[in-house]
Structure 1
Amino acid sequence: MFELKVKTRFAGAHQLTMVGQKCENLHGHNWYVEVCVKGDKLNSAGVLADFGDIKRAVRQVVDKELDHKFLNELEMFEGKQPTSERIAVYIARRVQDLLNRGAKEKIAENVTVSRVMAWESDDACAIYYPEE
C-alpha cells in the first residue's frame, strides 16, 4: 500500500453554538489542511498518482469552495455547524468525487482518499478516515 499527502491552507470564519463560550462568537481560522490518498498499484511511470493531479483536486475544493468564506453560510453546511470534523469530511468527499471523475480519464485511477486533517490552529485538528 502506498500513500501520498498534499498540504494546503485556507482562511475561513465560522460560528459554533453549544461547543464553548469563545467558539460561540464569530471567529476565523487560518486552516491548514492535509489530504492523503492511498492505493496499491503504481502506474507505468512508477508512481501512485501525479502529485499535480492530487493538488489540483484539493485546490479546486479548498480555494474555490472554502477560502475566505463565512462557512456557516455555505450550502454544504446548511443545517449543520461547520466544525473541523465536518470540514474534513466535506473535503474528503469532494476530493474523492474529483479524483473519481479524473479516473475516467486515467488520471489518479485506483486512488482513494485515506484521511483528511483539518487543522484550525497549530495544536488542534480533526482527522477524518473515510470508510472503504
Structure 2
Amino acid sequence: MYELRVTGDFAAAHQLHNVTEKCENLHGHNFDVEAAVEGEELNEAHVLMDFGLLKKHLREILASLDHCFLNEHPAFAGKNASSENIARFIAENLSERLLPLGGGVRVRRVRVWESARASAAYYP
C-alpha cells in the first residue's frame, strides 16, 4: 500500500450551534488541511499519482471554501459547519475527482486543523 499526503489552507468564518458558548459566536479560522490518498499499485510513471494533480484538486476544493461564511455554503445546509463536516466535504469532493482517473487511488483521510492544537479527521 502506498500513501501520498498534500496540504493546503483556507480562511473562513462559521458559527456553530449546540456547542460551547464561545464557539456559538461568529468567528473565523485560518484552516489547515491535509489530504491523504492511498493505492496498491504504482502507475506507468512508477508513482501512485502526480503530486501536482492531487494538489490542484485540493486547491480547487479549498477555493470554494476560502473567505466565505461556511454556514451559508450549500454543503453545510442543515448542519454545523464544524471541522468534522468540513473534513467530510473535502474528502467526498476529492473522492469524486479521483474516481474518473482510475488506477485505484482513493482518499484515505482528510484532516482539518482550526488551530495548531485542534483538528478533526474524516476517513471515508
Aligned residues: 124
Residue correspondence of structure 1 range 16-95 to structure 2 within 5 A: 16-63=16-63, 65-95=64-94
Q: Tell me how far 1:77 sits from its aligned partner.
A: 0.5
Is 1:13 aligned to 2:7, yes or no? Answer: no
| Partner in structure 2 of residue 4 of structure 1 | 4
Is 1:118 aligned to 2:112, yes or no? Answer: yes
Alignment gaps of 5+ in structure 2: none
CA distance in 1, matches of 2:81, 2:53: 27
Q: What secondary structure is seen at the aligned counterpart in 2 of 1:18?
A: coil
Letter in 1 for 2:8: T
Q: What secondary structure is seen at the aligned counterpart in 2 of 1:69?
A: coil
Percent identity reads 51
CA distance in 2, matches of 1:56, 1:9: 13
Q: Could you tell me the TM-score, scaled by structure 1's length?
A: 0.91
Q: Could you tell me the TM-score, scaled by structure 2's length?
A: 0.97
Runs ≥4 residues deviating over 2 A = none
What is the root-mean-square deviation of aligned Cα atoms in Å? 0.8
Alignment gaps of 5+ in structure 1: none
Q: Tell me how far 1:99 sits from its aligned partner.
A: 1.3
CA distance in 2, matches of 1:17, 1:32: 22
